[in-house]
Amino acid sequence: MFRAFIHLIYPNVCAGCGSVIPGDDSVICVRCWANLPRTYQCKDKNNRTVKLFWGRINVEHAFTSFVYTKGGIVQHMIHELKYRGNTEVGVELGVELAKEIRKIEMPVDIVIPVPLHPKKEKIRGYNQSLFIAEGISNYLGCEVDDKSLKRTVHTESQTRKGKYERWENVNKIFKLSNLDKLEGKHVLLVDDVITTGATIEDCFIALSEVKDIKISVVALASSVL
């Protein structure tokens, strides 16, 4: 009865369309679940996310699960996750990523959310990618590691820099620790939205210091597809 009362004051609102959802099993309504635009990229080894990294970094697997359109439900959900404290939608969509990971039998030992700059994380209160990573971890039973890879300094967009400068700059952006722990592991880098892929590239280069590491990349959506 107490839950029903709370529900009356704070109704469970869909993170996709804003409609009130009866019950609190999900923060996404039945209609939005049915209408979620999917990329079906995971089974395609030459999908657009993989191609984005061609000639840049050598990822084992890479895919995004949902189609990002301006004003669409995916954009709305990601906005809820990033700016409105709706971390549960990140967890639920993370589980959807995990289902695709299992479908292609992709081995994952450790899930690493793309780190936010500490200052940005302090303002937001959380790293949205950590909740997506937790959804993946809940479903697959693998570990989430948000300690080994850290972002150190706040930098402007990396895209305008040359390749050599980028390498130089990378060491200053991401700091890697626990190299022994990651040795020989298949690491899954998780982000909310992939735009240019520059941040993923920087994380990849930092992680490449680890001996015999394998790195895959997933994100909820890509804003350039």
- Does 142 bind Zn ion (CB under 5 A)? Our answer is no
**Residue 92, helix vs strand vs coil:** helix
Q: According to the binding rule CB under 5 A, does residue 29 interact with Zn ion?
A: yes
Nearer to Zn ion, 92 or 145 (CB): 92
Binding mask 9-28 for Zn ion (x = CB under 5 A): -----x-xx-----------
Which one, 14 or 217, has the nearer CB to Zn ion? 14
Q: How far is the CB of 11 from Zn ion (least distance, A)?
A: 13
- The size of the interface with Zn ion (CB under 5 A), counted in residues, is 5
Give the Cα separation of 116 and 111 in Å (integer): 15
Q: How far is the CB of 74 from Zn ion (least distance, A)?
A: 12
The CA-atom distances, in angstroms, between 200 and each of 14, 58, 112, 179, 216 are: 30, 12, 11, 18, 10
Rounded Cα gap, residues 119 and 45, in angstroms: 37
Binds Zn ion (CB under 5 A): choice among 27, 32, 188, 220: 32
CA 131 remoteness from chain centre: 8
Identify which of 189, 186, 220 has the alpha carbon closest to the alpha carbon of residue 94. Answer: 220
Distance separating alpha carbons of residues 114 and 191, to the nearest angstrom:
6
Nearer to Zn ion, 32 or 116 (CB): 32
User: What is the smallest separation between the CB atom of 171 and Zn ion, expressed in angstroms?
Assistant: 44
Q: Which residues bind Zn ion (CB under 5 A)?
A: 14, 16-17, 29, 32
